[in-house]
């Protein structure tokens, strides 16, 4: 593992903060839509600002990624795995940026005020429309499950690199900030 | 060497088992959170489905309850008196635009008006700070049941063909008797404009000093209520309420005083079947002025969800469990009806949203 290139500390920090936020977000999402209890309101009131936080962090992460790039995958990694790794990362980036935007657009199309922390209300990004609301609602719902499935694959692949291949790919994004 | 390779093979199998275990655990936790292992959980889906009795057709494209209604626009004239109770923008003296909907408490959008006991009003007050205060009030002075779970059971019992379903429900939820008494004895009126509408649920106002006040509120009609028997009302036609309010407001606005009732320390706020004693302090905070009526199919209230938890800063929910349940159920109803818009066509040319 000597000589393994790692993501920059900022990239690793963003990765793990987003990992926690997104997992929390997905669990809050499926929990809230299946509840009518007072916790429903608590969950919704976390879901919206957390979604906006994910959007901002994901955009920062995208910029940082474009600026600093990523360590190359191991040369001996089979081509199909390399392809899967690249495609799944495009999809993960797309979803962590798109899902909050779709959620925001869905609320806008339903004319709900999008209240986040401290009484701040975000502007509507789409006009009110029942058909737009329905399309975005479906997209938000089903893409969330796609996102969770992708994350499971991502975790499985990361552990495969860490435990089976031991090729340094896991360590390149590993949570330890000091070990270089 | 061979031994080392064997060990590696064994540890590889262990690694794959560990990976599979991690993924399976995460997927199971997700499914558990989503309620897939809890078929008895009262979800928004089940609550909303209960409005449609088994074998019945839901009112496609319409609200799943309070399905019959008519839109209005107007203003809320705040007199400033509410500012001592809440820092919400709507209580600062001034005039704020209002969008609303008069409605009947029925899942049938074609129910004859004289057959529906509960009348309601949905309101959205917008303030210049970009915030909205939405509410949905009804005309009974207290609610029928104490908990959302009991409300669900009431829907199931009243939709049941079992003749014992309602008596069994009433025995388990004695508070329903008081509501039944109200339904039987309270006078009917011939106009939405003569109805008093009540929040029933308790909310918490926060004033500028940060002090909190548990409150309920009502809209008191300026028009003198005139009792009319349901038999007499039935003769006025199936849609007399919509026709009457349209006619009335063509001749001039209708008004209601918004009156906030402040709980005494120790008054319960969790149970909307229990009205507070009559002597509680009230504050008249302003006037709702309804200026224009618009039919629902193309009206501005059609695709508005009068979710009572859309609240401005300075108002929050209390320990009353209903607003959360209503919010969850209204959202489900909204998602359904907006996806069924083709079953409730708009009528104006060019209205194709």
Largest separation between any pair of C-alpha atoms in chain A: 57
> Each residue of A34-45: pLDDT tens digit?
999 999 999 999
pLDDT bin (cut points 50, 70, 90) of residue B353 is: very low
pLDDT at residue A139, as a whole number: 98
B189 bridge partner residues = B227
pLDDT at residue B28, as a whole number: 98
Of residues A84 and B348, more confidently modeled:
A84
A41-47 long-range Cβ contacts below 8 angstroms, 24+ apart: A41/B309, A41/B317, A41/B323, A41/B324, A41/B327, A44/B327, A45/A115
**Facing residue for A34 by CB, picked from B41, B335, B353:** B41
Residue in A with minimal Cα distance to B315: A119
Statement: B42-343 belongs to CATH 2.40.180.10: yes
What does the pLDDT average to over A135-158? 98
> Is A53 domain-assigned?
yes
> Is A180 domain-assigned?
no
Q: Do B29 and A35 touch (CB under 8 A)?
A: no
State what percent of residues in chain A have pLDDT above 70: 95
Q: Output the CA–CA distances (angstroms, integers) from residue A175 to A67, A85, A154, in the order listed.
A: 21, 19, 15
pLDDT bin (cut points 50, 70, 90) of residue B7 is: low
Q: Nearest C-alpha of chain A: how many angstroms from B334?
A: 9
Q: With 80 as the cut, is the pLDDT of residue A119 above it?
A: no
**Facing residue for B23 by CB, picked from A30, A156, A163:** A156
Residue B100, classified by CB atoms within 10 Å of its CB into exposed (0-12), middle (13-18) or buried (19+), is: buried
Q: Report domain extents, chain B.
A: 42-343
CA distance B72 to B70: 7
Q: With 60 as the cut, is the pLDDT of residue A27 above it?
A: yes
What's the token pair of residue B218? Answer: 């009502």
pLDDT at residue B347, as a whole number: 86
> Is A3 domain-assigned?
no
Q: Nearest C-alpha of chain B: how many angstroms from A67?
A: 32
On average, the pLDDT of chain A sits at 93
Residues of chain A contacting residue B338, judged by C-beta atoms under 8 Å apart: 110, 130-131, 133-134, 137
Q: Do B19 and A159 touch (CB under 8 A)?
A: yes
pLDDT bin (cut points 50, 70, 90) of residue B352 is: very low
Residues of chain A contacting residue B305, judged by C-beta atoms under 8 Å apart: 110, 112
pLDDT at residue B248, as a whole number: 98
Residues of chain A contacting residue B9, judged by C-beta atoms under 8 Å apart: none
> Is A4 domain-assigned?
no
Q: Would you say B288 and B240 are in contact if contact means Cβ atoms under 8 Å apart?
A: no
pLDDT at residue A175, as a whole number: 79
Q: Nearest C-alpha of chain A: how many angstroms from B254?
A: 26
pLDDT at residue A60, as a whole number: 98
**Facing residue for A152 by CB, picked from B27, B34, B148:** B27
Q: Do B328 and A121 touch (CB under 8 A)?
A: no
What's the token pair of residue B267? Answer: 């008054």
pLDDT at residue B2, as a whole number: 46
CA distance A129 to A172: 45
pLDDT bin (cut points 50, 70, 90) of residue B5 is: low
Q: Output the CA–CA distances (angstroms, integers) from residue A61 to A10, A86, A90, B252, in the order listed.
A: 9, 16, 13, 58
> Is A124 domain-assigned?
yes
Please count the structural domains in chain A. Answer: 1
pLDDT at residue B56, as a whole number: 83
DSSP B203: E
Residues of chain A contacting residue B129, judged by C-beta atoms under 8 Å apart: 119
> Is A2 domain-assigned?
no
> Is A162 domain-assigned?
yes
Beta-carbon-side half-sphere exposure of residue B17 (alpha carbons within 13 Å): 6
Q: At what angle do helices A130-159 and B2-33 cross, to 10 degrees?
A: 160
**Facing residue for A156 by CB, picked from B19, B319, B353:** B19
* ipTM of predicted assembly, 2 dp: 0.93
> Each residue of B197-232: pLDDT tens digit?
999 999 999 999 999 999 999 999 999 999 999 999
DSSP B227: B
pLDDT at residue B1, as a whole number: 42
- Give the CATH number of the domain where residue A168 resides: 1.20.950.20
What does the pLDDT average to over A118-122? 83
> Each residue of A52-94: pLDDT tens digit?
999 999 999 999 999 999 999 999 999 999 999 999 999 999 9
Compute chain B's Rg from CA coordinates.
25
Q: Do A35 and B328 touch (CB under 8 A)?
A: yes
| Nearest residue to A82 (alpha-carbon basis) of A70, A67, A94 | A70
pLDDT at residue B6, as a whole number: 56
pLDDT at residue B14, as a whole number: 93
CA distance B297 to B347: 7
On average, the pLDDT of chain B sits at 95
Q: With 80 as the cut, is the pLDDT of residue A4 above it?
A: no
pLDDT at residue B24, as a whole number: 98
Q: Would you say B336 and B64 are in contact if contact means Cβ atoms under 8 Å apart?
A: yes
What's the token pair of residue A161? Answer: 């690199």
What does the pLDDT average to over A137-142? 98
> Is A179 domain-assigned?
no
Q: Would you say A25 and A47 are in contact if contact means Cβ atoms under 8 Å apart?
A: yes
A60 φ/ψ angles, rounded to the nearest 5 degrees: -60, -40
3-state secondary structure (DSSP) of residue B209: coil
CA distance B320 to B154: 18
Q: With 90 as the cut, is the pLDDT of residue A5 above it?
A: no
pLDDT at residue B10, as a whole number: 82
Q: With 50 as the cut, is the pLDDT of residue A1 above it?
A: no
> Each residue of B49-85: pLDDT tens digit?
999 877 788 999 999 999 999 999 999 999 999 999 9
Residue with tokens 């940026």: A97
Q: With 60 as the cut, is the pLDDT of residue A177 above it?
A: no
Q: Which residues of A101-175 form beta strands (DSSP E)? A: 114-115, 121-122
Q: With 80 as the cut, is the pLDDT of residue B22 above it?
A: yes
Angle at A15 between CA A9 and CA A16, to 5 degrees: 95
CA distance A137 to B302: 18
Compute chain A's Rg from CA coordinates.
18
**Facing residue for B26 by CB, picked from A35, A121, A152:** A152
Q: Output the CA–CA distances (angstroms, integers) from residue B160 to A74, A122, B153, B178, in the order listed.
A: 65, 45, 10, 22
Q: Do A163 and B18 touch (CB under 8 A)?
A: yes
Q: Would you say B170 and B144 are in contact if contact means Cβ atoms under 8 Å apart?
A: no
3-state secondary structure (DSSP) of residue B140: coil
> Each residue of B245-272: pLDDT tens digit?
999 999 999 999 999 999 999 999 999 9
Residues of chain A contacting residue B16, judged by C-beta atoms under 8 Å apart: 164
pLDDT at residue A180, as a whole number: 45
Q: Do A40 and B324 touch (CB under 8 A)?
A: yes
pLDDT at residue B350, as a whole number: 55
Which domain range does residue A25 map to? 9-172
């Amino acid at each position: 593992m000597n000589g393994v290139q790692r993501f920059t500390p900022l990239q690793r920090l963003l990765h793990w903060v987003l990992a926690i936020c997104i997992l929390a977000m997905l669990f809050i999402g499926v929990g809230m839509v299946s509840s009518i209890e007072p916790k429903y309101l608590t969950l919704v009131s976390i879901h919206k600002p957390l979604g906006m936080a994910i959007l901002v962090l994901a955009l920062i992460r995208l910029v940082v990624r474009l600026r600093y790039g990523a360590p190359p995958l191991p040369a001996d990694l089979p081509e199909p795995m390399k392809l899967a790794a690249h495609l799944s990362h495009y999809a993960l980036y797309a979803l962590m940026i798109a899902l909050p935007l779709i959620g925001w657009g869905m609320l806008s199309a339903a004319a709900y005020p999008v209240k986040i922390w401290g009484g701040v209300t975000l502007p509507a990004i789409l006009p009110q429309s029942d058909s737009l609301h329905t399309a975005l609602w479906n997209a938000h719902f089903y893409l969330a499950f796609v996102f969770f499935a992708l994350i499971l694959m991502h975790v499985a692949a990361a552990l495969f690199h860490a435990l089976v291949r031991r090729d340094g790919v896991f360590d390149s994004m590993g949570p330890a900030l000091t070990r270089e | 060497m061979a031994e080392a390779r064997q060990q590696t093979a064994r540890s590889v199998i262990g690694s794959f088992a560990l990976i599979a275990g991690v993924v399976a655990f995460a997927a199971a936790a997700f499914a558990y959170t989503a309620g897939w292992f809890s078929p008895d959980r009262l979800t928004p889906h089940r609550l909303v489905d209960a409005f449609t009795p088994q074998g019945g057709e839901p009112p496609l494209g319409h609200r799943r309850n309070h399905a019959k209604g008519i839109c209005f626009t107007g203003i809320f004239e705040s007199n400033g008196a509410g500012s001592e109770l809440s820092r919400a923008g709507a209580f600062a003296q001034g005039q704020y635009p209002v969008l609303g909907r008069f409605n009947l408490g029925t899942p049938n959008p074609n129910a004859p008006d004289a057959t529906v006991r509960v009348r309601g009003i949905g309101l959205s007050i917008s303030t210049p700070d970009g915030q909205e205060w939405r509410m949905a009030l009804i005309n009974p002075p207290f609610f029928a049941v104490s908990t959302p779970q009991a409300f669900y059971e009431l829907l199931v019992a009243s939709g049941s063909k079992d003749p014992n379903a309602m008596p069994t429900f009433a025995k388990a939820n004695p508070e329903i008797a008081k509501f039944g008494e109200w339904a039987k004895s309270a006078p009917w009126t011939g106009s939405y404009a003569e109805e008093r509408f009540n929040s029933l649920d308790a909310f918490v106002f926060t004033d500028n000093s940060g002090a909190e006040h548990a409150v309920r509120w009502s809209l008191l009609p300026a028009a003198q209520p005139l009792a009319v028997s349901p038999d007499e009302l039935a003769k006025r036609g199936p849609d007399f309420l919509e026709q009457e309010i349209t006619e009335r407001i063509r001749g001039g606005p209708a008004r209601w005083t918004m009156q906030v009732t402040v709980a005494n320390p120790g008054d319960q706020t969790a149970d909307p079947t229990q009205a507070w004693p009559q002597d509680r302090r009230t504050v008249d905070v302003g006037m709702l002025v309804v200026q224009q009526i618009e039919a629902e199919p193309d009206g501005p209230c059609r695709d508005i969800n009068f979710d009572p938890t859309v609240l401005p800063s300075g108002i929050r929910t209390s320990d009353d469990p209903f607003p959360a349940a209503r919010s969850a159920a209204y959202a489900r109803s909204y998602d359904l009806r907006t996806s069924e818009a083709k079953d409730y066509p708009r009528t104006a040319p060019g209205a194709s949203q």
